[in-house]
Structure 1
Amino acid sequence: MDAFSHLQAGLRAVLEANAPGSTVEHVVVALPSFSMGETLLAHYATRLPSLEHRYLLGALQVGRTPGAHVVLVTSGPPSGDVLDYYSRLASPDDPDDARRRISCLVVPDASPRGVAAKLLDRPDLLGELRERIGGRPALVEPWNVTEDEVSVALALGAPLNGTHPALWSLGFKSAGRRLFTEAGVPVPSGVEDVHDREQAAAAVALIRRIRPHLDRVVLKQDNSGAGDGNWVVSTRDEDGRRVPRSRLGTDAFGVVPDWFAADLAAGGVVEELLRGRRVSSPSAQVDIRPGGEVRVLATHEQVLGGPNGQVFTGCRFPAEDAYAPELARHAAAVGVRLAGAGAVGRVAVDFVAVRRRGTWSVHGLELNLRKGGTTHPFTALRHLVPGVYDPGRGWVTHADGLPRCYRSSDTVEDPAWVGLPPGRVIEAVAGAGLAFDHGTGTGVVLHMLSALERDGRFGVTAIAPTPAEADEMYAAVPSALAGQRGTSMARAAARRSPSGSAASASRIRW
């Protein structure tokens, strides 16, 4: 047995110590290390610290698990008022105790790399983290697992709640399509293992023979995330005529940028873009425990945006009643296959749901052997409103047996808020009566507040009894900040106007 396998043998015991109600002293090292391709990391380089701070929502577990201590490893420090905010959320009756059990280890490095790689460059900080663990049981909760995360775990002597990097390619788009098929999950017409424009053109020609009315396809890089590795291309010209096979490689794929074509050399998929009277993008979260137990944790409706409508910007929980049970069945079947291959930890499974002639059909799109964009809002829900997921009812609370829903996004923003202190946002939301209320199990939970400094952005999860109420609460957040001005906008406004005032309309980017 190699060193990592020996380390992983202790994962089950630490997970048991980390169960709600446990008084066993233990440490959870939150390691939101986005160990992805260079292109993707370069795109998000300046946002990495705020994206890492989303996982402070995981620190809310200290309110339910008295023995838990959470250390967030991050490349930029959250402010003190943000840590105080999460401490009050976690334990409103004893926030001081929660604050003692929530801490950060800051690795001051602004390079576009995962924080695990940055930590490995700092043996002094690794030593400090070992001292904080202090011989207590510990586990590492990663975003994804590469050799860097394994090296951190070995250096700490703490098992990883994630899949061994040797299995990482199981989550690639091509491998995912094959696994869906093996698990009996329908997939759109498509071709795997595409590496260049010529192969992509040949794939389109093949799909057109199966789907004569094909209009658009999605070109997907095998190893990508957040929809940034997806590109929608048309297979018809401006007059709606099919682009001839001889010109598909140049005409239809001429809009694909050079960086995308270069990254595609590592492999990808061409897939039919399904159409119907209604189309949605649901997903499911699966947890695979040591020993192979598979649990479907939640289903969501993803909110997509960006130039191609493929970039994740937020979500709604739960997924539509009409197909949520089907999503859960498919996700469980995928989880069983992955567990059989040795996968452990979180898995995110993405689907497309299409309504035609009054009937919904569900197709598997891709799977990710890691946490995803729906992980942190669901984490807030399960720690603040304990309950259980029922595919037929959604989240059923332990306290009152009634459902809870939410609307969440990482992209509530306004240029006027650039430089706005997080504390003022927290106060404004509370002043508008929107703050989370433990008594009712409803309200707004904030995250990613450090992004205010860079681009006037923060995250919101609005928890309510019904989807309509969650949407209404979510939409009320920008109004709660009406009139708020950050330092950068205030200085710009002062230069423009003798009165120092400036008008700016807030927006929520979906």
Structure 2
Amino acid sequence: MTLSFAQLQAQLKPEWGREHDGNGVDFDLLMLPSLSVDPAQIALITGAHNYEERQLFSLIRLRDPGVRIVYVTSKLLPDLVVDAVLELLPGVPTTHARRRLHLFDADDASPRPLTEKLLERPALLTRIKELLRPGRSFIACYVVTELEKRLSEVLQVPLLGTDPALSWWGSKAGSRALFARCGVPHPPGSALVHNLDDLAEATAELWEAHPDLARCVVKLNEGISGEGNAPLELAPLQLAALSAAERRRTLRQALEAIPMPPPQWRDLVVQQGALVEAWLAGGEALSSPSVQGTIHPGGAVEVLSTHEQILGGASGQTYLGCRFPADEPYRRELMRHGRSVGEALASEGALERYAVDFIARRFGDRWDIQAIEVNLRQGGTTHPTMALRAITTGHLDADSGLFLSPTGQPLHYVASDNIVDPHLRGLLPVDLVDIVAEAGLHYDPARLRGSVFHLLGCLSEFGKLGMTSLGSSAAMAQTVFDETREALLEAGAARSLVQG
């Protein structure tokens, strides 16, 4: 009998969501790192299909000897890239973990979601299904869309993730509704609209309710990593001197020129909607923290981490990297709000990873934090946390929010997906390993410091890679990050001169 998606989800077991359960778990995990998001968003990512490597740190599950993992990618992963992660796993021989890891690929580097490619290859799906034990298998993925839901039904394997029917809670409008429901502070903003005339009206009403507002931000309802956000300067428009009708005409013209990253953003306003939100300014310091959690089968909520996000790009809204953990003055408040949002999501039936992004402003000795969006998927902070958990045997202290090593030493890290330089182009992963080894900057578990890498598939073609640098303090983690980056760029430049 063929089971429906809901019937398959009912097979999920609470222990399947917990990393290194240590209680004799016995299951097969199909890891599906598909970037199943809007094609316009994928087009903005250099080397998009290589981002499927970011979930390699999910191999942490192989620390449990009863776990087998099937990892699928668009193109075959080089052995060096896979072994570099396996060799970091404490407590399990690499050869033992490697025997329980099965790699498959679609041999298709086109800029389409991996799940779509798999659904086009029934023979490949048959080979994968033959490895997955009925009743002991589940799928984990970056994000759950109708594509992943369909794949779950085709394979007849449950999926540890949120039903796409609940995806509204991860949109900009859904996030604001969730914050209001949970009593989590968030900026003033508008309802969702679907054309520029209504967006101009919403912006005018926001300013009229807050006439001191000098800037606002326009958000596509389904934008990711800040790529669907754009600021709108209100102060130069001198709105107070205009009549209501003139104000709306002026705002309508200004909206036409906002620097929204997707070139077809006006069409996306019609398709998915957009809203406008107050830009939070003022204060003596400003930061962009976030909190991450997971919802286990059965509804238990676990807060996993907090971060300071590193933002940049043309609008200052694009995610570039992060620091763990978030700053101490508001870390516990972040965790409290994160748990509240997670429990509300769990009551709706959400599962697995979620994150909440905030803006924090300091006024004297007081910090004001405002929530700005919820993400119902893995994100840029997921794989650094996976890396930390994969290469240590520590745990997150639920009270302080610090990650403690087995000896009680706090661990910190700095991570980025966006180390890009022309001198890195042409370097192979083996060259990177040589450079880091010679500089003594690879992660050393004895010293609890060093760097680990991802996105190595982007290195030779695009001169781009990702890196997580760990240390026993925030300053040490930043030093390791800076020293590793400098060593890579210097070595890349030297090799370029030799080749030239």
Q: Which residue of 1 aligns with 2:425?
A: 418
Structure-1-length-normalised TM-score: 0.90
Counterpart residue type for residue 28 of structure 2: V
Q: Does 1:269 align with 2:237?
A: no
Compute the displacement of 1:392 (Å): 4.7
5 Å-filtered alignment, 1:280-319, equals: 280-319=287-326
Q: Does 1:6 align with 2:7?
A: yes
5 Å-filtered alignment, 1:192-203, equals: 192-203=191-202
Q: Does 1:259 align with 2:291?
A: no
Q: Which residue of 2 aligns with 1:379?
A: 386
Between 1:244-253 and 1:471-480, the stretch displaced more is 244-253
* SS of equivalent residue, structure 1 residue 192: coil
Distance 1:189 1:42, change over 3 A: same
Partners of 1:119 and 1:453 lie apart in 2 by: 26
* SS of equivalent residue, structure 1 residue 427: helix
* SS of equivalent residue, structure 1 residue 193: coil
**Deviation string, structure 1 residues 116-152 (Cα, Å, up to 9, x no partner):** 1110000011111112325572211111111111122
Partners of 1:18 and 1:299 lie apart in 2 by: 18
Counterpart residue type for residue 202 of structure 1: E
Given that 1:449 and 1:458 are in contact with CA atoms closer than 8 Å, whether structure 2 keeps it comes out as: yes
Between 1:147-156 and 1:343-352, the stretch displaced more is 147-156
Partners of 2:12 and 2:425 lie apart in 1 by: 42
Given that 2:11 and 2:135 are in contact with CA atoms closer than 8 Å, whether structure 1 keeps it comes out as: no
5 Å-filtered alignment, 1:201-216, equals: 201-216=200-215
**Deviation string, structure 1 residues 432-474 (Cα, Å, up to 9, x no partner):** 1211122333321111111102211111111111111000000
Counterpart residue type for residue 211 of structure 2: P
Compute the displacement of 1:217 (Å): 1.0
Compute the displacement of 1:397 (Å): 2.5
**Deviation string, structure 1 residues 183-234 (Cα, Å, up to 9, x no partner):** 0011111102122222222222222223222111111111121111111121
5 Å-filtered alignment, 1:127-206, equals: 127-135=126-134, 137-206=136-205
Partners of 2:28 and 2:231 lie apart in 1 by: 44
Q: Which residue of 2 aligns with 1:507?
A: none
Q: Does 1:331 align with 2:338?
A: yes
Distance 1:500 1:17, change over 3 A: closer
Partners of 2:331 and 2:253 lie apart in 1 by: 40
Q: Which residue of 2 aligns with 1:38?
A: 39
5 Å-filtered alignment, 1:63-74, equals: 64-74=63-73
Partners of 1:92 and 1:123 lie apart in 2 by: 37
Counterpart residue type for residue 114 of structure 1: P
Partners of 1:247 and 1:240 lie apart in 2 by: 8
Partners of 1:161 and 1:486 lie apart in 2 by: 44
Between 1:103-112 and 1:387-396, the stretch displaced more is 387-396
The gaps in structure 2 that reach 5 residues or longer are: none
Partners of 1:242 and 1:108 lie apart in 2 by: 61
Between 1:33-42 and 1:457-466, the stretch displaced more is 33-42
Partners of 2:240 and 2:339 lie apart in 1 by: 41
Given that 2:80 and 2:429 are in contact with CA atoms closer than 8 Å, whether structure 1 keeps it comes out as: yes
Question: Which residue of the other structure, out of 229, 246, 250, is the alignment partner of 2:249?
Answer: 246
Distance 1:239 1:203, change over 3 A: closer
Between 1:466-475 and 1:192-201, the stretch displaced more is 192-201
Q: Which residue of 2 aligns with 1:51?
A: 51
Distance 1:434 1:241, change over 3 A: farther
* SS of equivalent residue, structure 2 residue 13: helix
Given that 1:281 and 1:351 are in contact with CA atoms closer than 8 Å, whether structure 2 keeps it comes out as: yes
Counterpart residue type for residue 70 of structure 1: I
* SS of equivalent residue, structure 1 residue 194: coil
Distance 1:72 1:58, change over 3 A: same
Distance 1:18 1:387, change over 3 A: closer
* SS of equivalent residue, structure 2 residue 190: strand
Q: Which residue of 2 aligns with 1:508?
A: none
Partners of 1:381 and 1:375 lie apart in 2 by: 10
Given that 2:218 and 2:274 are in contact with CA atoms closer than 8 Å, whether structure 1 keeps it comes out as: yes
* SS of equivalent residue, structure 2 residue 374: strand
Counterpart residue type for residue 144 of structure 2: V
**Deviation string, structure 1 residues 323-359 (Cα, Å, up to 9, x no partner):** 1111111111111111111111111111111112332
Partners of 1:398 and 1:485 lie apart in 2 by: 34
Partners of 2:292 and 2:364 lie apart in 1 by: 29
Question: Which residue of the other structure, out of 430, 433, 442, is the alignment partner of 2:440?
Answer: 433
Counterpart residue type for residue 471 of structure 2: A
Partners of 2:72 and 2:207 lie apart in 1 by: 48
Distance 1:18 1:310, change over 3 A: closer
Distance 1:177 1:268, change over 3 A: same
Partners of 1:18 and 1:353 lie apart in 2 by: 31
Given that 1:72 and 1:104 are in contact with CA atoms closer than 8 Å, whether structure 2 keeps it comes out as: yes
* SS of equivalent residue, structure 2 residue 418: strand
Compute the displacement of 1:13 (Å): 5.6
Counterpart residue type for residue 341 of structure 2: V
Counterpart residue type for residue 409 of structure 1: S
Partners of 1:333 and 1:152 lie apart in 2 by: 31
Given that 1:214 and 1:272 are in contact with CA atoms closer than 8 Å, whether structure 2 keeps it comes out as: yes
Partners of 1:92 and 1:387 lie apart in 2 by: 12
